[in-house]
Amino acid sequence: MSWTDERIDKLKRLWEQGMTASQIADALGEGVSRNAVIGKAHRLGLQSRPSPVKATDAPSEAAPAAAAAPAQPPAPPPAPPKVEQPEPEPAVQASQPSRMLRPGTPTGPVPPSGPPAPPRRSIPAKPSKEIEGKTTLLDLSDKICKWPIGHPGEPDFHFCGQPSNPGFPYCVEHCAVAYQAQLPRRDRRPPPPPYGAPRIR
């Protein structure tokens, strides 16, 4: 397949929107590889994005040096999984599964001392939600609606937290928002995907 203006345009938009090369690749359709996307993106002079590999660092010997501070984490907001066209909705999402949602190394309580901790009860270590009243990153599971409320970085950013629609990352309510085929508004079926709805892929 060739790079028509149309496809190039789509590539640009999606790339700048923060989609990964492979996501863009299969968004562009069959016969487009991740490499093709990356190659084209580079040839187009699109802004390179944080790569896992950034070698080309040749410090001779003494080279501790403070690593550059990551001003902005490389997690721009891809939109929630629409079935078809992107549409300005909650333009925020916890996109990739565990990889991106991973809270990172537990910086938590440091077990300092020798004596083995006696079995504590009475305080189930599950403060965040019950106390905060908000569903945070740490509360998420496959049973919890991960629909973002607010925007990442904002102080009160949290997640919906309702029981998720089994098989879906969101509750029924938000599934209805997230999964919308681009159909004429007339015959757009109002009800959200029911249990066991076929997964789109």
Residue 49 touching DNA (CB under 7 A): yes
Residue 51 touching DNA (CB under 7 A): yes
Binding pattern to DNA, positions 90-119, x when CB under 7 A?
---------x--------------------
Residue 48 touching DNA (CB under 7 A): yes
Segment interacting with DNA (CB under 7 A) among 16-24, 115-123, 145-153, 193-201:
16-24
Residue 3 touching DNA (CB under 7 A): yes
Residue 35 touching DNA (CB under 7 A): yes
**Residue among 51 and 85 whose Cβ is closer to DNA:** 51
Q: Enumerate residues 6+ apart whose C-beta is below 8 A from 46.
A: 12, 15, 16
CB of 19 closer than 8 Å to CB of 10? no
Please calculate the CA angle 151-157-160 and round it to the nearest 5 degrees.
100
Residue 17 touching DNA (CB under 7 A): no
Residue 11 touching DNA (CB under 7 A): no
- DSSP H or E run through 149: strand 148-149
Q: 159: helix, coil or strand?
A: strand
Cα gap 103→99, rounded to integer Å? 9
